[in-house]
Structure 1
Amino acid sequence: MTDMSASRPAKRVFIKTYGCQMNVYDSERMHDVLRPIGYAPAESAEEADLVILNTCHIREKATEKVYSELGQLKLMKQERGGNLTIAVAGCVAQAEGAEIMRRQPAVDLVLGPQAYHKLPEMIARASRAVGDRLETEFETLEKFDALPKTREADGPAAFLSIQEGCDKFCTFCVVPYTRGAELSRPVDDIVLEARSLAAQGVREITLLGQNVNAYHGAAPALSNEADWTLGQLVRHIAKIGGVDRIRYTTSHPRDMDDDLIAAHGEVPEMMPFLHLPVQSGSDRILKAMNRGHTADAYREIIRKVRAARPDIAIASDFIVGFPGESDEDFEATMQLVRDVNFAIAYSFKYSARPGTPAADMALQVPEEVKDARLQALQALLRDQQEAFNRSKIGETVSVLVTGKGRNPGQAHGRSPWLQAVHFDGDAKMAGMIVDVRVVDASLNSLTGELVNVHEAAL
């Protein structure tokens, strides 16, 4: 008897991801929970039976992009006679779930970032047109318990979520309202996932969390301790065979403890890169933002980190035009940038998010002032980034090869400082760690020549 199931085409899912690395990880885990019910990845929405928009709510423009995309998907659904399931996931879904369903009736499912483990159940309910199509409960621990403990790797570098939520309540930020309170995964669960990734050839793991350095997870079962910090976790993951590189993001200055700083100098697998958002260089604005630290406290953290790891690259985030920001406040930010000297930074105009305290603050800064300040800040940051990249010219750097380069005959990789590196090589080298001598640099990447291959192809 012929097995017809083998030739039956799989259902296809396309997930479009907006925003942060946590959303990238969440999208990967959505594929994990959908695979057992027959959904294979699609390359585009046009090829898919199910389209999921995994959304970001940090800035207003990101939210409006989602509604624009939904308008296009509605037309696609109509052209197919309704044979397309549309889902909205992530932080916009959490914040505006009911509004999404009211504003765009073509949407079939809405689920917050703590509910995507319920996707199979929600899809079944939608197919029967019964039950609730909106899931926005905060059930972070339930989510992690329900997810597969291992997952398929996609390349030699992978994200691994260890912590979710935020208790800091910065006055400009929606994350505490869309992701919930801080919660850390148990060490044993994280290690199991890390070992699974390493067994599939993952060489570099980036530990993720909204406040990743606030990590306090249940210690290993054989340990006599209650909780472990991020520094302890990093040291433990570094012992896993095959894991050659460890990163973490995004961190908060209030949680940079001395043990974590020491780990940067003591753990060879820790890459010399730290993304530590400061947002402003003005103590008055930092207080209004409820950041819980001063500009000088931030400078002191950077001093300690550089003492532990002199070659470390520092990255940060900045907001210009926060309510009440004066010319003097902005100049304090510019001075902090000059003092620290960043390898890379992300800067944005303040965007009022409904429901946050800052949205109702007096002295909102005019858009034209925000524009001028952002241009001045970004010019300084670009100069620093380009100078940092050019400082690598002539050096031989260790590169994790990730695939094809921009041009034929080129390979692409990642330096210890997170720069993209292009060099003449075979894409079959993906997954290898090689030495590349840097011969040129631009704002966003390095160009080099292959010097040495550390090991045979994986």
Structure 2
Amino acid sequence: MARYYVETYGCTSNRGETQQIERALREGGHRPASSPQDADVAILNTCTVVEKTERNMLRRARELDEQTPADLIVTGCMALAQGEQFADVDAEILHWDDVPEYVLNGECPTITPDTETVLDGVTGILPIARGCMSDCSYCITKQATGRIDSPTVEENVRKARALVHGGAREIRITGQDTGVYGWDINQGESLLPELLSRICAEIDGDFRVRLGMANPGGLHGIAEELATVFAEHDEIYNFLHAPVQSGSDDVLADMRRQHRLEQFREIVATFDRHLEYWTLATDFIVGFPTEDPGDHEASMDLLREIRPEKVNVTRFSKRPGTDAAELKGLGGTVKKERSKAMTDLKMDVVGEAYEAMVGTERTVLLTEDGTADSLVGYDEAHRQVALPNAQLQGLTVGNFVDVEITGHNTVYAMGEPISPPETPTAARADD
């Protein structure tokens, strides 16, 4: 479990970006540190309004570089517009959206015994288990968490109910590998479909449920049952995060992933059969030590073929104590070039998905503040939708609202309300 320290400068937009970064890190099991000295990673979200501000940002970046024993990430407006100014700082310059993936490093979320539910505004984060059944050669998480350790379905339903009673309108289910939840207490069979069904059937109130990362190896055996549960319950976002990591079976074997491409494709085909409108999120690690040019091109081909609506691209980074760290790595230039090529393709693929949304009508749950008077939320497939001037129209976080999608900005859509907001229905206190 990484400890992160974040400092944010500038406008409301920057603060909103930091909020999203922190939410993603908390979902991954990471926790805030009280100072940069206590952190495993420090994040500086910069502003670049005037020259004095720029000087202050450079000064603070150098200070954090000295104070933080591990990694420093610089993001925000100055980093993106004037990244060369930070050349003498030992820092990674990243776009806001890329910060969580860099910190998570392509690994599973780190759910440990002290990881509890978190209520962040109207979003409740529910860790359903800790540990996993995988042994990926590049992942350090397993050393911290061990094998799967699952609370009962009843216990997780109780925690989900408490989140809804506490004001959650969105429950984000997380774990190292949600697909193998229950293997340890149910004779090697997943309890995930049962858990999702019971959360939806037994908890009163208006809320949505987003399932967190599930490795294809564990998903494959329950894909039919899980897709059926998704189709039966409107409370569940039609969203599946299944990290494939490579388009080469040879590289997957070297990574010690427990799936192969045929299984991944079968999972996607199963959800295609059951759901007309859904989001596939997946991850790729580029520049794994044994990835040759043909393997990289195979990953690019898979991305073109599957066309997921959300893609995380991570450059391979050696983690101490892992088997992959002992392999002779590829040069930084090679990894950077491959990462850029895949990121460019990713933007084309994702942009195409959001372009196809324009002109459609969606029901959006508003979950967070945006810039100025805008609000941000998610539609039925957990695709992000921003509503400009939403607060001026009487909308608030926690509203369900029907919107027309009027445009997009590659990785999120923009919409306009077409009906009054739905009044929230409170859960019964005696549930």
Supply the distance in 2 between the matched residues of 1:255 and 1:442 (Cα, whole angstroms): 34
Q: Please state how far the C-alpha of 1:345 moved relative to its aligned partner.
A: 0.6
The corresponding residue for 2:153 is 187
Supply the distance in 2 between the matched residues of 1:218 and 1:361 (Cα, whole angstroms): 32
Supply the distance in 1 between the matched residues of 2:41 and 2:292 (Cα, whole angstroms): 29
2:67 to 71, 84, 97: 71
2:383 to 419, 423, 427: 419
Native 8 Å contact 2:311 2:346 kept in 1: yes
The corresponding residue for 2:214 is 251
Supply the distance in 1 between the matched residues of 2:157 and 2:333 (Cα, whole angstroms): 49
Distance 1:344 1:225, change over 3 A: closer
One-letter code aligned to 1:456? T
Native 8 Å contact 1:186 1:217 kept in 2: no
Native 8 Å contact 2:4 2:40 kept in 1: no
Q: Secondary structure at the match of 2:357?
A: coil
Supply the distance in 2 between the matched residues of 1:217 and 1:185 (Cα, whole angstroms): 11
Alignment of 1:101-116 (within 5 A): 114=112
2:310 to 337, 344, 350: 344
The corresponding residue for 2:362 is 397
Distance 1:340 1:433, change over 3 A: same
Residues 287-326 of structure 1, C-alpha deviations (whole Å, 9 max, x = no match): 1111122112211111111111121111111111111211
Identity of counterpart residues, as a percentage? 27
Q: Please state how far the C-alpha of 1:174 moved relative to its aligned partner.
A: 0.6
Q: Secondary structure at the match of 1:421?
A: strand
The corresponding residue for 1:387 is 352
Q: Please state how far the C-alpha of 1:249 moved relative to its aligned partner.
A: 1.1
Q: Please state how far the C-alpha of 1:415 moved relative to its aligned partner.
A: 2.2
Alignment of 1:355-394 (within 5 A): 355-362=321-328, 364-394=329-359
Q: Please state how far the C-alpha of 1:246 moved relative to its aligned partner.
A: 1.1
Alignment of 1:18-417 (within 5 A): 21=24, 23-24=26-27, 55=40, 68=64, 71=67, 114=112, 140=113, 143=114, 153-216=119-182, 229-239=191-201, 240-256=203-219, 257=222, 258-362=224-328, 364-408=329-373, 410-417=374-381
- Note if 1:432 corresponds to 2:410: no
Q: Secondary structure at the match of 1:238?
A: helix
TM-score, normalization: structure 2? 0.71
Supply the distance in 1 between the matched residues of 2:39 and 2:215 (Cα, whole angstroms): 24
Residues 393-438 of structure 1, C-alpha deviations (whole Å, 9 max, x = no match): 0111111112433123x23222233333222322752111001111
One-letter code aligned to 2:162? S
Q: Secondary structure at the match of 1:353?
A: coil
The corresponding residue for 1:98 is none
Distance 1:184 1:238, change over 3 A: same
Native 8 Å contact 1:22 1:208 kept in 2: no
Choose 275-284 or 306-315, whichever is displaced more: 306-315
Q: Please state how far the C-alpha of 1:261 moved relative to its aligned partner.
A: 2.6
The corresponding residue for 1:85 is none
Q: Secondary structure at the match of 2:226?
A: helix
Q: Secondary structure at the match of 1:412?
A: strand
Residues 93-118 of structure 1, C-alpha deviations (whole Å, 9 max, x = no match): xxxxxxxxxxxxxxxxxxx974xxxx
Q: Secondary structure at the match of 2:325?
A: helix
Q: Please state how far the C-alpha of 1:56 moved relative to its aligned partner.
A: 7.2
Native 8 Å contact 1:22 1:209 kept in 2: no
Choose 152-161 or 428-437, whichever is displaced more: 152-161
Q: Please state how far the C-alpha of 1:453 moved relative to its aligned partner.
A: 3.0
Native 8 Å contact 2:123 2:169 kept in 1: yes
Aligned residues: 343
Q: Please state how far the C-alpha of 1:54 moved relative to its aligned partner.
A: 6.7
The corresponding residue for 1:3 is none
Q: Please state how far the C-alpha of 1:381 moved relative to its aligned partner.
A: 0.7
Native 8 Å contact 1:432 1:457 kept in 2: yes
Native 8 Å contact 2:278 2:381 kept in 1: yes
**Could you list the runs of 5+ residues in structure 1 that have no partner in the other structure?**
1-13, 31-43, 58-64, 74-111, 115-139
Native 8 Å contact 1:164 1:179 kept in 2: yes
Native 8 Å contact 1:205 1:243 kept in 2: no
One-letter code aligned to 2:200? A
Distance 1:235 1:155, change over 3 A: same
Q: Please state how far the C-alpha of 1:386 moved relative to its aligned partner.
A: 0.7
Native 8 Å contact 1:165 1:182 kept in 2: yes
Q: Please state how far the C-alpha of 1:16 moved relative to its aligned partner.
A: 3.8
Question: Between Structure 1 and Structure 2, whose CA radius of gyration is higher?
Answer: 1
One-letter code aligned to 2:191? T
One-letter code aligned to 2:370? G
Distance 1:19 1:321, change over 3 A: farther
Distance 1:152 1:208, change over 3 A: closer
Q: Which has the higher contact order (CA 8 A, sep 6+)?
A: 2
The corresponding residue for 1:100 is none
One-letter code aligned to 2:339? L
The corresponding residue for 1:37 is none
The corresponding residue for 1:62 is none
